[in-house]
């Protein structure tokens, strides 16, 4: 097993500001990055930095925790290919619009006609979710369920993807679920907000948001098409996939990995997307199945041992927290290793992580991963320390210091053999 620093390379983090070092990206929500909301997204500057630094045109990059597909979009913009894996089915609906590659003729008028079709729908779509009415007043539910029936009848094309993205957003805004934070719960604030809204012409507001969002997304997609004209790289998306058991059919060697694993104690991605997923026709059973695979809800099957992790384990008194820690490192490492084994020799793995606190003890995730992987077929390259400004996590709207963390780290490892 590794001793703390084991000589060789200096493990001291190098300070960096990804926002400053990638000045060509001024706005984290540029182009189609923010069409879909997703918690704990990468800032695109981190991904752009990894791509520019460690890959070249037409390379293949894998992200085993792809979330909303930030790596996919940045890869496509810079003429790289990407393989995106995530447990969350939402990725399947995000990618066609976020990385639109179609050649279909389209116009704002065409979009407006499709929105009208949706508004005139008479059938209802009722999500296969016992509790769905808990989240909506009856009148709002009735309108949404007609609109969703309309969306589900549309052809699979750019118009549908845009209207769907817009309706996902509205279905949260007009629900009793708090929409200012990612976590799914009914808040007093939201209850009051919705009951006041219902005293107004809420239906007209809902309709106008449907148009406004859709037009805004339409403009973003047009802009994306403009800047990616002539790009023909592939973005392969495997949603609903557990990245620890994923197998790539082609046997191709990949050039790099860029990813940000789930946070140690903020693991609620599927729950966060639950309402969206029900409206998108997923069943309770399907959602339960993927929730069970979410890190770190699963039982650890092996205990990962590294110098730093063992020290932390010794200090934690609460058994439940030790179980979470064990599960987290077992499954996070399993997913990373599974994808990292697909890298070619000298391929780089760029892993963006925080140092959360468990029981008041700082868990140096990047160091633990370094200790684990340098015992395998990987070498330590460098670790960057990026001081946190703001990042939207689960707890609050803009959390200046998530999990008590002051920095996030980009660990870079190299495949040796
Ligand atoms: C920090 S988020 C990634 C966000 C992403 N970088 C982005 O920019 O949108 C971590 C992701 O890991 C996913 N995840 C959790 N357990 C997983 C597993 N076993 N296999 C694949 N993905 C998993 C979650 O669904 C979540 O989307």
pLDDT for residue 2? 47
Nearest CA to ligand 1 atom 4: 67
Mean pLDDT, rounded, of the chain = 92
Q: Which residue has the higher pLDDT, 391 or 246?
A: 246
Under the banding of pLDDT at 50, 70 and 90, the label for residue 391 is low
Ramachandran angles phi, psi of 319, nearest 5°: -60, -35
pLDDT for residue 399? 43
pLDDT for residue 137? 95
Distance 199 CA to ligand 1 centre (A): 40
**From CA 314, how far away is CA 331, in angstroms rounded?**
20
Distance 260 CA to ligand 1 centre (A): 7
Task: Give the residue range(s) of CATH 3.40.50.150 domains in the chain.
Answer: 14-101+234-415
Percent of the chain with pLDDT over 90: 81
For 7-30, how does the pLDDT look when each residue is reduced to its tens digit (9 = 90+)? 567 899 999 999 999 999 999 999
For 257-281, how does the pLDDT look when each residue is reduced to its tens digit (9 = 90+)? 999 999 887 668 898 899 999 999 9
Query: 18, 50, 75, 86: which to mutate for ligand 1, most atoms within 8 A of CB?
Result: 86
Q: Which residue has the higher pLDDT, 296 or 244?
A: 244
For 322-346, how does the pLDDT look when each residue is reduced to its tens digit (9 = 90+)? 999 999 999 999 999 999 999 999 9
pLDDT for residue 248? 92
Say which CATH topology domain 14-101+234-415 has: Rossmann fold (3.40.50)
Q: For the ranges 130-139, 172-181, 400-409, which has the lowest average pLDDT?
A: 400-409
Q: Which residue has the higher pLDDT, 299 or 197?
A: 197
Per-residue pLDDT averaged across 364-374, rounded?
A: 98
Q: For the ranges 114-123, 201-210, 286-295, 371-380, which has the lowest average pLDDT?
A: 286-295
pLDDT for residue 8? 62
For 279-322, how does the pLDDT look when each residue is reduced to its tens digit (9 = 90+)? 999 999 999 999 999 987 788 999 999 999 999 999 999 999 99
Ligand 1 site, CB within 6 A = 38, 40-42, 65, 67-68, 70, 85-88, 242-244, 260, 262, 269, 293-295, 335
Per-residue pLDDT averaged across 156-176, rounded?
A: 97
């Amino acid at each position: 097993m590794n001793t703390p620093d084991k000589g060789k390379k200096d493990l001291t983090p190098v300070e960096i500001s990804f926002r400053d070092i990638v000045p060509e990206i001024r706005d984290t929500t540029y182009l189609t990055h923010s069409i879909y909301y997703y918690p704990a997204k990468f800032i695109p500057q981190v991904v752009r930095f990894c791509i520019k630094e460690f890959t070249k045109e037409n390379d293949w990059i894998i992200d085993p925790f792809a979330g909303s597909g930030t790596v996919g979009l940045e890869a496509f913009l810079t003429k790289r290919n990407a393989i995106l894996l995530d447990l969350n089915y939402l990725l399947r609906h995000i990618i066609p619009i976020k990385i639109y590659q179609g050649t279909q003729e389209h116009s704002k008028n065409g979009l407006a006609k499709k929105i009208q079709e949706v508004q005139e729908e008479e059938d209802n779509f009722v999500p296969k979710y016992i509790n769905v009415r808990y989240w909506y007043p009856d009148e709002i539910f009735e309108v949404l369920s007609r609109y969703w029936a309309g969306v589900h009848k549309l052809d699979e094309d750019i118009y549908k993807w845009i209207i769907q993205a817009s309706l996902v957003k509205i279905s949260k805004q007009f629900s009793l679920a708090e929409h200012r934070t990612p976590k799914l719960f009914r808040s007093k604030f939201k209850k009051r907000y919705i009951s006041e809204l219902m005293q107004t012409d809420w239906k007209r507001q809902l309709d106008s948001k449907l148009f406004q969002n859709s037009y805004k997304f339409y403009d973003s997609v047009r802009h994306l098409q403009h800047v990616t004209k002539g790009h023909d790289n592939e973005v392969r998306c495997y949603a609903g996939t557990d990245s620890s058991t994923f197998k790539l059919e082609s046997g191709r060697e990949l050039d790099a990995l860029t990813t940000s694993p789930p946070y140690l104690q903020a693991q609620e991605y599927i729950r966060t997307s639950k309402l969206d997923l029900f409206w998108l026709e997923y069943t309770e059973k399907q959602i339960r199945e993927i929730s069970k695979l979410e890190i770190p809800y699963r039982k650890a099957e092996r205990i990962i041992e590294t110098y730093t992790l063992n020290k932390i384990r010794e200090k934690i008194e609460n058994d439940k927290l030790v179980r979470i820690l064990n599960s987290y490192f077992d499954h996070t490492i399993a997913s990373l290793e599974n994808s990292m084994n697909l890298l070619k020799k000298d391929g780089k793995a760029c892993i963006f992580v925080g140092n959360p606190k468990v029981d008041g003890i700082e868990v140096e995730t990047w160091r633990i991963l370094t200790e684990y992987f340098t015992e395998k077929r990987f070498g330590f390259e460098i670790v960057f320390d990026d001081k946190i400004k703001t990042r939207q996590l689960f707890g609050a709207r803009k959390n200046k210091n998530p999990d008590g963390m002051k920095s996030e780290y980009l660990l870079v490892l190299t495949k040796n053999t």
